[in-house]
């Protein structure tokens, strides 16, 4: 018998992947085989004989095993590929396939598993968890709806969970796949991104006619302290911009980087199953931060009934609020926009002179003096998410402060520390996006 350049561990792995036997079971077979042969052969030779007994083509299997391909080098049309990666997210539905997002040090790819019988865990339960290491053998690469490669795992394939010969430290932990926004500049392919919702725009419908062929679209801006990312939302996920709140933490798994953008970070996603939303405690209806800028927004008025912020042209008369339909009776309050640094994100918050004078009546000159001295002030803002209605009646949702309180630095630090402690202890509220007919709805978990 010719001896192939294989280690015992590699042979045991091949036998395990083809038979579902655990390593101890295979080692017992090796010992028995050696005894049967009068202990005249070594462990590797015994393992080769056992593989032959099971009808395993070892030469072909080791070629596949050693032919691991980096995820960044996968392209549609490839067959019988082998990859090794970490499980980043799992999506299960009522019917096959279930989807596993897998990443290695070079990239991220969506994997569709059509037959769970191909999963080899060495245990009775064929289960995969986030954070597991997978070796996927004999898989095919196809195109998803956007043309990006995705892996398909069929009956011919094998999915080995946490194979013992792979050092888990060689593949980044799940949290390390969330890269700082600034580092995503000029990156291509799929990425994981996490940030605070800073800005959102209402969905619009485009394309087609009479309801056929039409798609919904919206966009949001995320920030993480290193930079901002514009996320384009298509289809059912466009409604995220309605149900998520400014200040929510949003995690997006496997978003596609825009390939024609070089001077900013822009991504797109259309599948709501790959988005998680977290609401920071308690309901995050107050923002704390230090004011770093305040400026007056000319030609803005506020509806006294619904708090919508309405823009108007010079000399234009607002007969009724485009949002609630009633006539606004507050025209003389100047609207100001301040930028807050909350140590979590930068927030743009709209408010009135009255609120920014901390709810007290002052003369015009006094108010101007107060506002000009606000930079560097620690504040707590009670806010609502209200529409900003532009003169062409397009709407964006903005953060509108109904009350602004001044904080001293010690109080600010105490509140911030409380929020951080609660966040670290897991006291956060997760929202899950579910599909309802042809649009998305959020529900609290």
Beta bridge partners of 222: 197, 229
pLDDT tens-digit readout, 5-64: 467 877 887 888 788 888 889 999 999 999 988 888 888 889 889 988 998 877 655 544
Instruction: Give the model confidence (pLDDT) of 346-369 as tens digits.
Output: 778 888 877 777 777 667 777 778
Residue 176, pLDDT score: 84
Q: Is 275 helix (H, G, I), strand (E, B) or coil?
A: strand
* Pair of tokens at residue 60: 């072909």
Using CA atoms, how far residue 415 sits from 63, 246, 287, 381, 420, in Å, is 59, 19, 10, 13, 9
Distance between CA atoms of 265 and 198, rounded to whole angstroms? 15
* Cβ count within 10 A of residue 257: 19
Q: Is the pLDDT of residue 120 over 50?
A: yes
Angle made by CA atoms 419, 281, 435, in degrees to the nearest 5? 140
Half-sphere exposure of 296 (CA within 13 A, CB side): 10
The tens digit of pLDDT for each residue in 398-431 reads 778 888 888 888 888 877 777 666 555 554 445 4
Main-chain dihedrals φ then ψ at residue 184, nearest 5 degrees? -85, -5
Q: 149-153 and 107-113 as β-strands: parallel, antiparallel, unpaired?
A: parallel
Q: Locate tokens 């094998």: which residue? A: 158
Distances (CA, A) of 377 to 77, 296, 317, 362, 413: 59, 17, 36, 19, 13
Q: Which two tokens mark 444?
A: 């609290």
pLDDT at 380 exceeding the cut of 70 = yes
Q: Are 96 and 117 in contact (CB under 8 A)?
A: no
121 pLDDT tier (thresholds 50, 70, 90): confident
Q: For residue 367, count other CB atoms closer than 10 A to its CB.
A: 17
Per-residue DSSP letters for 322-340? TTTSSPP-B-SSPEEEEEE
pLDDT at 439: 33
pTM: 0.54
- pLDDT tens by residue, 229-287: 999 999 888 888 877 877 777 889 999 998 777 778 999 998 888 888 876 543 345 77
- What are the structural domains, with CATH classification, of the chain? 8-65 (no CATH), 71-170 (2.40.50.140), 180-280+428-444 (2.40.50.140), 286-424 (no CATH)
């Amino acid at each position: 018998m010719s001896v192939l350049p294989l280690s015992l561990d590699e042979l045991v792995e091949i036998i395990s992947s083809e038979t579902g036997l655990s390593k101890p079971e295979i080692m017992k077979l090796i010992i028995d085989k050696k005894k049967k042969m009068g202990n005249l052969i070594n462990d590797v030779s015994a393992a080769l004989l056992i593989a032959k007994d099971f009808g395993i083509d070892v030469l072909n299997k080791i070629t596949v095993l050693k032919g691991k391909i980096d995820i960044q080098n996968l392209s549609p049309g490839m067959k019988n590929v082998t990859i090794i990666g970490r499980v980043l997210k799992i999506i299960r539905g009522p019917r096959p396939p279930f989807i596993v997002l897998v990443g290695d040090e070079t990239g991220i790819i969506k994997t569709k598993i059509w037959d769970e019988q191909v999963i080899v865990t060495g245990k009775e339960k064929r289960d995969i968890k986030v954070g597991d290491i997978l070796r996927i053998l004999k898989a095919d690469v196809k195109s998803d709806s956007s043309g990006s490669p995705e892996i398909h795992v069929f009956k011919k394939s094998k999915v080995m969970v946490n194979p013992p010969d792979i050092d888990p430290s060689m593949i980044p932990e799940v949290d390390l796949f969330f890269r700082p926004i600034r580092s995503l500049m000029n990156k291509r392919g799929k990425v994981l991104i996490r940030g605070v919702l800073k800005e959102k725009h209402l969905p619009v419908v485009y394309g087609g006619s009479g309801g056929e062929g039409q798609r919904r679209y919206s966009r949001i801006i995320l920030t993480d302290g290193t930079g901002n990312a514009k996320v384009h939302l298509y289809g059912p996920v466009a409604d995220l911009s309605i149900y998520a709140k400014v200040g929510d933490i949003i995690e997006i798994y496997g978003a596609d980087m825009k390939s024609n953008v070089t001077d900013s970070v822009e991504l797109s996603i259309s599948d709501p199953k790959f988005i998680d939303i977290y609401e920071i405690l308690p309901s995050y209806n107050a923002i704390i931060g230090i004011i770093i800028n305040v400026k007056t927004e000319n030609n803005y008025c506020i509806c006294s009934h619904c708090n919508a912020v309405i823009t108007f042209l010079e000399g234009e008369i607002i007969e009724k609020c485009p949002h609630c339909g009633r006539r606004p009776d507050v025209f003389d309050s100047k609207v100001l926009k301040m930028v807050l640094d909350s140590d979590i994100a930068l927030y743009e918050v709209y408010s009135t002179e009255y609120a920014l004078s901390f709810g007290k009546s002052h003369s015009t000159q006094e108010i101007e003096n107060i506002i000009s001295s606000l930079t560097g002030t620690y504040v707590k803002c009670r806010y609502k998410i209200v529409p900003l209605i532009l003169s062409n009646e397009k709407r964006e949702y903005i953060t509108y402060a109904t009350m602004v309180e001044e904080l001293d630095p010690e109080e600010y630090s105490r509140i911030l520390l409380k929020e951080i402690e609660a966040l670290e202890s897991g006291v956060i509220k997760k929202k899950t996006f579910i599909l309802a007919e042809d649009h998305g709805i959020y529900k609290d978990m």
